[in-house]
C-alpha cells in the first residue's frame, strides 16, 4: 500500500487503536498516568487539575470524565487514602517511585553501554556523546511515531526492508543528523550513521528492554491520543447521527440530578458543539410531557402541605435547611431548598426558570424532534409489560415513565438504518438509566444487533478519537515518550496485542488504503458499541447498579442528616433522638432483609442470564438453519448447471459422432467404388462382410464416445465386429 505519508500514519494508528480496543487495556493506561501525575505533583486535588497536569506533562488530553472514572477505579483498588481531595497511599507512592527509578536506571545503563562501545572505536568528548544520545532518542521516536509496533523489526540488525521502508528510515536518520550537525558540525554523516548502527547492533538484554519499553510508551500514547489526520478521517466517516435524549440526561444537564457524575452531560454537549461533529440532539414531545408532569408534581410538593389541599406559607431559609436534613425530596424540590437555604428565593421565580423547557435545551443545541414515525401502540404495551417483568422488585417506576421510555426506544428503532451496524445505524437514545440500557442490550436485542440505547460515558468514549486536540501531535509524541516518567507509567502490553496489530496490518495489506481505512473505522465504531459480556462484572454491575443505588441512598441521607443535626443540636435534638431510634430499628430490619435481598438479586440475575442464553441459542439455531438452507440451494443450483452442461456436451458428442459415422461409412462404401481403386477389397470374397464389420466398428467407437451410459454395449459391438472381420480375413486366406 503506497499512499501519502499522512494517510499511511492515520491507518497505522487506527490499527493500533483497534488492537488496544480489543485488548481492553485503555482504562489501565489512563489509571497509570493518573497515578504517576499524582506522584509527581502531590498538591493536585481535583479532577480538572489532574487532567490539566497530564496534558502539560505527558501531552495527552483526557476528558474530565475519564479522570473522574479513573480516580474511582484506583480508589476502589485501594491505591488512595482519600478520594476528595485525592491523596495517594504510601504503598502506591513507593511503588511508583520504584518504577520511575528503574526506568531512569535502565536508560542510564543502556546509554553507558553504548558510550563504552563508541569510545572503544571513536574518541569523542562527553558533551558530544550526550548530544548524540539525544539525537538517537529523537530518531527512535520518529520511527516509532510513523511505524508503531513494526519498529521492533526495523531495529533488528538482520531486518531487510523494502525500498519504501528504507527511504522512511533514512529520512528520519537524516533529520536527526541535521539537528546534531547544528551543534557538532565536525562529525560527518557517515560517522553519525555508523555510531547509530553501533547502538542497534549492540547485543544487550538491557537495550532490548529499553526498546520494548519505548514500544509500550508508543502503544499508550496512541491509545489516548489521535493524530490530526486520523481525527479528520474519522470525522469524515461518521454519518449524521440523530440522538434523542432521556429526561434523566436533561435533569443532569440543567443541574437537577445529583446522583450522576458531575458535568458529564455538559462535557459531552461541549465536545459535540466544539468539534463540529454531524450529531444532532433532540428531545421527543413525550419527553417534554414527562418533564412538565414532574415539574408540576414538584410545584405541588413545594406549595401544599402533604395529603392536604392547603397552601403552605413561604419557605424560610431555616425551614429549607430542615427539609434538606430530613431528605426524601424530589430532585426539583431539593434544588429549590438548596438555593433557598442560602438566600430566600421566591418559589414562583425559581419554578419560572425551570419551566422554560425549550429555552433551557436550545442553548445547549437540543431541539424538538418533529419527524415522528408511526408507532403501533400495541407494540408499546407489549414492550412495557416485558420491561415491568424485567425490572427488579426493588426498582419502582410509574407506568407513565415506562411508557415514555418504550416510545422513545421504538421511535429510535423506526428512524434508524435497519441494514447498518454500529454507529452507521444513524440514531440512538441517550440515557443515564442503567436498567433501561441493560433491558435494551441484554434482553430484547438479538445477538449482533446494535442496541438503540447508549449511555453518556459510552458515547463520550466513542467520540474520543474524533476530538481534535492540538496540531502539534508529532512534537508532543517525541517529547513524551522520551520522558522516563511516562515510560514508567506505560502499560505493559502483551504479545497478543502486538500480534493482533500485525494481523490487522497484514489483513489489509492488499486493500487500497482509502477502502481499508473505511472498513477499519467501521469496525472500530462497532467494536466500541459492543455489548458487555453477559458473565462479566460490568454486566452484573449494570443490573445491580440501581438496586445498590437505592440501598445506599438512605445511608447517605442518614450521614448527611447526622452531620447537619450536630450543627443544629439545640433546635433539632428531639428529631435527632427519634432518628437514632429509627436507625437502630432500620439496622435490625436491614440485617433480616439482607439475605433475602441477596437471594432475590441472584435469582433476578440468573433469570436474565437464562433468558439471554435462550435468545442467543434461538438466534444461533436460526442462523444455522438459514446457512444449511443456503448450502442446499447452492448445491441444487450447482447440480442443475452441471446437468445442463452435460446435456450440451452430450448433444455435441452425438453430432460429432454422427458426422464421423457418415464420413467413415462413406469412406468404406463409396470411396472404393468411385474414387479409389482398392482391387484387394473389390476382389475379396468377403468384401461386404468386411465393409459391414468395419462399419459396425466405426459405429461402436462413436457410440462409446458419445454415450457414457451404454459404453459396455458399444464395446461389445466393437469386439463382435472385430471378431467377424478377423474371421472373414482368415477364411479368405
CA–CA separation, 512 and 334 (whole Å): 59
- 519 cis-preceded (ω within 30 degrees of 0): no
Render pLDDT for 450-491 as a digit per residue (tens, 0 to 9). 889 988 877 877 777 776 655 567 777 777 877 888 878 766
Q: Is 447 helix (H, G, I), strand (E, B) or coil?
A: coil
Contact call for residues 496 and 23 (beta carbons, < 8 A): yes
CA pseudo-torsion sign 602, 604, 606, 608: negative
CA–CA separation, 711 and 703 (whole Å): 7
CA–CA separation, 462 and 183 (whole Å): 45
* pTM given for the model: 0.58
CA–CA separation, 58 and 60 (whole Å): 5
Render pLDDT for 571-585 as a digit per residue (tens, 0 to 9). 455 655 665 666 566
Burial class (CB in 10 A: 0-12, 13-18, 19+), 201: exposed
Of residues 155 and 85, more confidently modeled:
85
Q: What is the pLDDT of residue 246?
A: 94
* Buried/exposed code over 327-337 (b: 16+ C-beta within 10 A; e: otherwise): eebebbbbbbb
Instruction: Give yes or no for residue 8 having a pLDDT over 80.
Output: no
Q: What is the pLDDT of residue 535?
A: 39
Confidence tier at 4 by pLDDT (50, 70, 90)? very low
Highest mean pLDDT among 168-177, 184-193, 529-538 belongs to: 184-193
Q: What is the pLDDT of residue 281?
A: 94
Render pLDDT for 334-385 as a digit per residue (tens, 0 to 9). 889 988 988 888 888 888 888 889 998 999 899 999 999 999 989 999 999 9
Instruction: Give yes or no for residue 59 having a pLDDT over 80.
Output: yes
Instruction: Kindly report the backbone phi and psi dihedral angles of residue 204, in degrees, each rounded to the nearest multiple of 5, phi listed first.
Output: -155, 125
Render pLDDT for 413-454 as a digit per residue (tens, 0 to 9). 999 988 887 778 889 999 988 889 888 887 777 666 788 998
Mean pLDDT of 288-317: 87
Q: Average pLDDT of the chain?
A: 76
In DSSP terms, 427 is beta-bridged to: 242
Instruction: Give yes or no for residue 690 having a pLDDT over 50.
Output: yes
Render pLDDT for 634-671 as a digit per residue (tens, 0 to 9). 888 888 888 888 788 778 777 877 787 777 777 777 77
Mean pLDDT of 710-719: 67
Amino acid at each position: 500500500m503506497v499512499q501519502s505519508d499522512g494517510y499511511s500514519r492515520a491507518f497505522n494508528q487506527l490499527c493500533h487503536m483497534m488492537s488496544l480496543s480489543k485488548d481492553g487495556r485503555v482504562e489501565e493506561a489512563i489509571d497509570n498516568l493518573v497515578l504517576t501525575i499524582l506522584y509527581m505533583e502531590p498538591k493536585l486535588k481535583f479532577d480538572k487539575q489532574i487532567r490539566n497536569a497530564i496534558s502539560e506533562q505527558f501531552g495527552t488530553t483526557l476528558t474530565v470524565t475519564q479522570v473522574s472514572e479513573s480516580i474511582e477505579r484506583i480508589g476502589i483498588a485501594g491505591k488512595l487514602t482519600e478520594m476528595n481531595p485525592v491523596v495517594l497511599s504510601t504503598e502506591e507512592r513507593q511503588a511508583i517511585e520504584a518504577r520511575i527509578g528503574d526506568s531512569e536506571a535502565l536508560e542510564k545503563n543502556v546509554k553507558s553501554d553504548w558510550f563504552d562501545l563508541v569510545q572503544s572505536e571513536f574518541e569523542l568528548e562527553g558533551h558530544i556523546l550526550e548530544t548524540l544520545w539525544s539525537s538517537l532518542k529523537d530518531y527512535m521516536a520518529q520511527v516509532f511515531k510513523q511505524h508503531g509496533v513494526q519498529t521492533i523489526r526495523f531495529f533488528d540488525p538482520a531486518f531487510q526492508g523494502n525500498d519504501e521502508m528504507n527511504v522512511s528510515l533514512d529520512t528520519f536518520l537524516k533529520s536527526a543528523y541535521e539537528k546534531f550537525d547544528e551543534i557538532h558540525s565536525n562529525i560527518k554523516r557517515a560517522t553519525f550513521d555508523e555510531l547509530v548502527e553501533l547502538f542497534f547492533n549492540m547485543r544487550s538484554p538491557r537495550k532490548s528492554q529499553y526498546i520494548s519499553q519505548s514500544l509500550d510508551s508508543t502503544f499508550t500514547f496512541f491509545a489516548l491520543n489521535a493524530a490530526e489526520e486520523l481525527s479528520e478521517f474519522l470525522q469524515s466517516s461518521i454519518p449524521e447521527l440523530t440522538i434523542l435524549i432521556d429526561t434523566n440526561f436533561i435533569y443532569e444537564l440543567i443541574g437537577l440530578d445529583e446522583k450522576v457524575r458531575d458535568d458529564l452531560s455538559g462535557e459531552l454537549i461541549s465536545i459535540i458543539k466544539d468539534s463540529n461533529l454531524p450529531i444532532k440532539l433532540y428531545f421527543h414531545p413525550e419527553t417534554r410531557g414527562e418533564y412538565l408532569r414532574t415539574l408540576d408534581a414538584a410545584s405541588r410538593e413545594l406549595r401544599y402541605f402533604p395529603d392536604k389541599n392547603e397552601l403552605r406559607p413561604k419557605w424560610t431559609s431555616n425551614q429549607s435547611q430542615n427539609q434538606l436534613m430530613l431528605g426524601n425530596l424530589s430532585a426539583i424540590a431539593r434544588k429549590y431548598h438548596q438555593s433557598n437555604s442560602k438566600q430566600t428565593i421566591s418559589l414562583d421565580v425559581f419554578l419560572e426558570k425551570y419551566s422554560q423547557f425549550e429555552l433551557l435545551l436550545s442553548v445547549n443545541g437540543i431541539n424538538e424532534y418533529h419527524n415522528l414515525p408511526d408507532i403501533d401502540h400495541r407494540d408499546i404495551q407489549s414492550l412495557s409489560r416485558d420491561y415491568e417483568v424485567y425490572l427488579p422488585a426493588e426498582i419502582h417506576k410509574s407506568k407513565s415513565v415506562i411508557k415514555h421510555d418504550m416510545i422513545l426506544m421504538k421511535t429510535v428503532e423506526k428512524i434508524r438504518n435497519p441494514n447498518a451496524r454500529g454507529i452507521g445505524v444513524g440514531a440512538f437514545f441517550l440515557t443515564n438509566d442503567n436498567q433501561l440500557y441493560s433491558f435494551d442490550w441484554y434482553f430484547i436485542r438479538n445477538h449482533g444487533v446494535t442496541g438503540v440505547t447508549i449511555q453518556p460515558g459510552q458515547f463520550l468514549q466513542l467520540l474520543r478519537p474524533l476530538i481534535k486536540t492540538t496540531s502539534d501531535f508529532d512534537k508532543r509524541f517525541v517529547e513524551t515518550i522520551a520522558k522516563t516518567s511516562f515510560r514508567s507509567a506505560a502499560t505493559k502490553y502483551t504479545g497478543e496485542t502486538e500480534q493482533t496489530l500485525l494481523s490487522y496490518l497484514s489483513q489489509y495489506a492488499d486493500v487500497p488504503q482509502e477502502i481499508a481505512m473505511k472498513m477499519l473505522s467501521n469496525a472500530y465504531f462497532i467494536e466500541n458499541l459492543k455489548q458487555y459480556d453477559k458473565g462479566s462484572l460490568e454486566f452484573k454491575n449494570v443490573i445491580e447498579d440501581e438496586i445498590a443505588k437505592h440501598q445506599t441512598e438512605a445511608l447517605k441521607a442518614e450521614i448527611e442528616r447526622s452531620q447537619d443535626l450536630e450543627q443544629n443540636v439545640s433546635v433539632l435534638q428531639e428529631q435527632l433522638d427519634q432518628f437514632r431510634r429509627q436507625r437502630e430499628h432500620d439496622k435490625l430490619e436491614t440485617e433480616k432483609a439482607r439475605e433475602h435481598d441477596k437471594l432475590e438479586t441472584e435469582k433476578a440475575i440468573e433469570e436474565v442470564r437464562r433468558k439471554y442464553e435462550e435468545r442467543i441459542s434461538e438466534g444461533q439455531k436460526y442462523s444455522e438453519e438459514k446457512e444449511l438452507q443456503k448450502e442446499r440451494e447452492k448445491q441444487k443450483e450447482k447440480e442443475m448447471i452441471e446437468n445442463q452442461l452435460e446435456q450440451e456436451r452430450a448433444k455435441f458428442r452425438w453430432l460429432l459422432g454422427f458426422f464421423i459415422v457418415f464420413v467413415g461409412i462413406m469412406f468404406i462404401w463409396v470411396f472404393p467404388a468411385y474414387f479409389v481403386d482398392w482391387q484387394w477389397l473389390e476382389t475379396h470374397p468377403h468384401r461386404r462382410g468386411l465393409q459391414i464389420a468395419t462399419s459396425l466398428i466405426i459405429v461402436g467407437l462413436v457410440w462409446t464416445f458419445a454415450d457414457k451410459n451404454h459404453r459396455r454395449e458399444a464395446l461389445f459391438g466393437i469386439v463382435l465386429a472385430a471378431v467377424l472381420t478377423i474371421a472373414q480375413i482368415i477364411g479368405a486366406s
